[in-house]
Chain A
């Protein structure tokens, strides 16, 4: 008897699922551009995922408000499909398959968390659906060789890119100031401490640091490297060990909660009074609240943040995007939202050049050759274009220094590097203690 119910349930549920999920498509012909947004809307990373989805909706609404994307004299509307990965591999694979086979999307945009993207991109590669990755930071995504990666376009900096810019800044600005104040010889090697998350992200940044030092032949050495478990809350012991190694600068590769604790525990509890660097994902309102005054004078690498507007050609676009986003969703946008927003525009631009077809191979070719002006994030040479080798767009990352703001009772960032968007000079604080000889 019990198997009777089993069949009934099996059949009914599948039919229900089948009916609900079947795309209700009647007419043929191109009338809209279908974009699947792959993002974690539930689970540990849902704050970021929700932001990505909201930014994509904003971009689509803007495009549709102007009638759509003009292709061959007719306007195509942009239609978005929600793809919740549930912050799990199973969820990611299921939802990417659903977007491709049921919703028949022309593009995938988003992708957050490298571990999940590794699994779900296999489905996209198999169906040859162009995927603009705007969240996951592992360079492997467009470099792995077990699948055809030619349909993957990376539109966010990778874990190789963060340390590259950050360490160039340290070499160019911070090191000379330290050497000067403490009368160190100019050829003195800068002592770098690295504390990184035990994950793809943390390890990627650590590898990126080593690569950057080697590639640019920087006069730096890693004097201490500590690893911590994801969601760790107590960094006092590794920081105490690090302090004993006398670093000049400390580079944490951490998420927001961890970064705030590393800096505050390092400064307050351990007395590791040094310049803390930070990876871009921490440029978020919650970080400035969480790190309190301990974040003062620390460095934040960034490409889009809640409290800065880079000078130059894109500043009015940034102001407008922030205002529109806040009007629509009642909260400020975050960095992953910004690149996802651009991702929708990139998709629209790629279609424009095609003259009416939505053939996936043609879309891929169009994306590969795409060259459009930067939108709300500063790009190298002012254009968004994907590199021919691994299809990565190149951002001009900037450095912010956190300065205490008495009126808000928190620190606020000021851009200190590079010169093209600089607001103020980098300051080496009085309480700064250099490392050993």
Chain B
């Protein structure tokens, strides 16, 4: 196989990984603090993309500058979801979260379809035709911006958790909820905060997808969400480093493995395309990891 092709595909894998990471750290933040999983996280991505779309359409601002606004809007949505839906069912059994999320998926997708129709909406990045060429490798500036934004989000989160009082309180809550309560931390406020941050990260992911040319309709959230869950579970629930490593690994593996399979069956004289196997490969990896380690690579040990 040509090395240039290989490196180019590696770059696409890293880009895909960035979107997964943004979704996955949001899920992990919420899980860390509340010990719940929001299966409707992809719908937050969809709403975030719509927020960016509408603000951009009405204001005409640079779409990248719209992202913070979309983050704030989705943070508010996140707080509402936490208060109205997840707060009442905390501690009533893990299956209930799954069922509740299912309801949220139906609710958000179809509300979006009613309000905004199912037409596909798109916006234009101002930098869409700028790209940097390194030898045979092509790097559109938009992707560099995406990687940079993801890195900024991760660093900002790290600083917040380590330095800020609020962030430290949040970390304490994820480590031990009861102890945190005893220390005078308002854990309910931490729940809201975690949901707000998680939703804001999902909004970032959605907006970045939209700006790089993907179209938004009410159903766009489901596929990236599924991948993000795979990332979270492979990396281990609640583990931020796990999410980063698993996100990049999955992003790259999904792109390389089909190629490798195609090449292998090519040696046997067969011509087959495995690009449609992306999700299948993600889940095979997921199942293999879980068979070996039932709580994921960086997951907490079983009780």
Residue numbers of A with Cβ under 8 A of B are: 42, 44, 46-47, 198, 225-229, 231-234, 236-238, 240-241, 244, 256-257, 260-261, 264-265, 268-271, 286, 289-290, 292-293
B303 interface residue (CB < 8 Å to A)? no
In the complex the two chains form, what is the Cα distance from A315 to B5 in whole Å?
48
Give CA–CA (A292, B277) in the complex, Å: 29
Question: With a CB–CB cut-off of 8 A, which chain B residues contact A269?
Answer: 12, 131, 138, 140, 143
Q: Is the CB of A227 within 8 A of B213?
A: no
Known A225-B273, A229-B279, A240-B8; contact A44-B219, beta-carbon cutoff 8 A: yes
Q: A238 to chain B: which residues have CB within 8 Å?
A: 273, 275
Residues of chain A contacted by B255 (CB below 8 angstroms): 236-237
B249 at the interface (CB under 8 A from A): no
Residues of A within 8 A of B110 (CB): 42
Contact of A289 among B113, B122, B273 (CB under 8 A): B122
Whole-angstrom distance between the Cβ of B23 and the nearest chain A Cβ: 14
**Closest CB-CB distance, B110 to chain A, in whole Å?**
8
Assembly CA distance A238 to B131 (angstroms): 20
Which residues does chain A contribute within 8 Å of B67, judged by CB atoms? none
* Interface residue ranges of B182-231 to A (CB < 8 Å): 209, 213-215, 217, 219-220, 223-224
List the A residue with the shortest CB-CB distance to B125: A292
Q: Is B299 an interface residue (CB 8 A)?
A: no
Chain A residues contacting B170 (CB-CB under 8 Å) are none
- Interface status of B119 (Cβ within 8 A of chain A): yes
Contacting residues, chain B, for A44 (C-beta < 8 A): 118, 219
CA A44 to CA B220, docked complex, whole Å: 10
Determine if B128 and A233 form an interchain contact, defined as CB atoms under 8 angstroms apart. Answer: no
When A225-B273, A231-B219, A257-B120 are in contact, do A237 and B12 touch as well, CB less than 8 Å?
Answer: yes
What's the nearest-Cβ distance from chain B to residue A182, in Å?
A: 22
Question: B16 an interface residue at 8 Å Cβ cutoff?
Answer: yes
Q: Is the CB–CB distance between B8 and A227 below 8 Å?
A: no
> CB distance B215 to A198 under 8 Å?
no
B-side contacts of A268, CB under 8 Å: 128-129, 131, 140, 213
Chain B 135-153 interface 0/1 with A at a Cβ cutoff of 8 Å (1 = within): 0001010010000000000
Report whether A241 and B215 are in contact in the complex, using a CB–CB cutoff of 8 Å.
Answer: no
Residues of B within 8 A of A (CB): 2, 5, 8-9, 12-13, 15-16, 110, 113, 117-122, 124, 128-129, 131, 138, 140, 143, 209, 213-215, 217, 219-220, 223-224, 255, 258-259, 262, 271, 273-279
Q: Are B118 and A227 in contact (CB under 8 A)?
A: no
Q: How far apart are the CA atoms of A198 and B280 in the complex, in Å?
A: 13
Cα–Cα distance between A227 and B279 once the two chains are bound (Å): 13
* Inter-subunit contact A46/B118 (CB<8 Å): yes
Q: Is the CB of B5 within 8 A of A241?
A: yes
Least Cβ–Cβ distance between A333 and chain B, in angstroms: 14
**Across the interface, do A286 and B215 meet the contact criterion of CB distance under 8 Å?**
yes
Q: Is the CB of A47 within 8 A of B117?
A: yes
Closest A residue, CB atoms, query B120: A286
Report B-chain residues with C-beta under 8 Å of the C-beta of A236: 9, 12, 15, 255
On whether the beta carbons of A225 and B124 are closer than 8 Å, the reply is no
B118 touching A292, Cβ below 8 Å:
no
Q: How far is the CB of B280 from chain A (nearest CB, A)?
A: 9
Q: Is the CB of B214 within 8 A of A233?
A: yes
Contacts of A257 in B (CB 8 A): 120, 214-215, 217
Residues in chain B near residue A237, CB distance under 8 A: 9, 12-13, 255, 258-259, 275
Contact B276 A228 (CB under 8 A): yes
Would you give the shortest CB distance from B279 to chain A, in whole angstroms?
6
- A residues within 8 A CB of B275? 226-229, 237-238
Q: Bound complex: CA of A201 vs CA of B252, how far in Å?
A: 29
> In the bound complex, how far is the Cα of B210 from the Cα of A260, in angstroms?
13
Evaluate contact between B119 and A292: CB separation under 8 angstroms: no
7 residue pairs A–B, Cβ–Cβ below 8 Å = A42-B110, A198-B276, A229-B279, A231-B220, A237-B255, A261-B214, A292-B128
Contacts of B219 in A (CB 8 A): 44, 231
List 6 A-B pairs, minimum CB-CB distance, nearest first. Answer: A198-B276, A236-B12, A290-B122, A227-B273, A227-B276, A237-B255
Q: What are the residues of chain A within 8 A of B213 when measuring CB–CB?
A: 260-261, 264-265, 268, 290, 292
Which residues of B lie under 8 Å from residue A232 when comparing CB positions? 223, 276, 278
Complex Cα distance, B120 from A264, in Å, reads: 15
**With A and B bound together, what is the CA distance between A58 and B276 in angstroms?**
40
* Cα–Cα, bound, A231→B140 (Å): 23
Chain B contacts of A233 at CB under 8 A?
209, 214, 220, 223-224
CA distance in complex: A29, B259 (Å): 65
Bound: A240/B136 CA distance, A: 11
User: Nearest A residue to B280 by beta-carbon distance?
Assistant: A229
A244 touches B278 (CB 8 A): no
Residues of chain B contacted by A229 (CB below 8 angstroms):
275-279
CA distance A240 to B13 in the complex (A): 12
Extra contacts, 9 of them, besides A234-B12, A264-B213 (Cβ < 8 A), are: A229-B279, A238-B273, A257-B217, A260-B122, A269-B12, A290-B213, A292-B124, A292-B128, A293-B129
Alpha-carbon distance A268/B215, docked complex (angstroms): 16
Q: How far apart are the CA atoms of A256 and B219 in the complex, in Å? A: 14
Bound complex: CA A42 to CA B114 (Å): 10
Contact (Cβ within 8 A) B223 A290? no
On chain B, the residues within 8 Å of A289 by CB distance are 122
Q: Provide the bound-state CA to CA distance between A268 and B128, in Å.
A: 8
Expressed in whole angstroms, the minimum distance between the Cβ of B185 and any Cβ of chain A is 40
Cβ–Cβ < 8 Å partners of A260 in chain B: 120, 122, 213, 215
A260 CA to B120 CA, complexed, in Å = 11
Among B118, B140, B271, chain A packs the most CB atoms within 10 A around the CB of: B118
Q: Are A241 and B129 in contact (CB under 8 A)?
A: no
Which residue of the partner chain, among B13, B119, B276, contacts A286 with CB atoms under 8 Å? B119
User: Which residues of chain A have C-beta atoms less than 8 A from B279's C-beta?
Assistant: 229
CA distance A268 to B2 in the complex (A): 21
In the bound assembly, the distance between CA atoms of A257 and B223 in angstroms comes to 14
**Residue contact A290 to B215, C-beta cutoff 8 Å:** yes
**Do B223 and A231 touch across chains, with their CB atoms under 8 A apart?**
yes
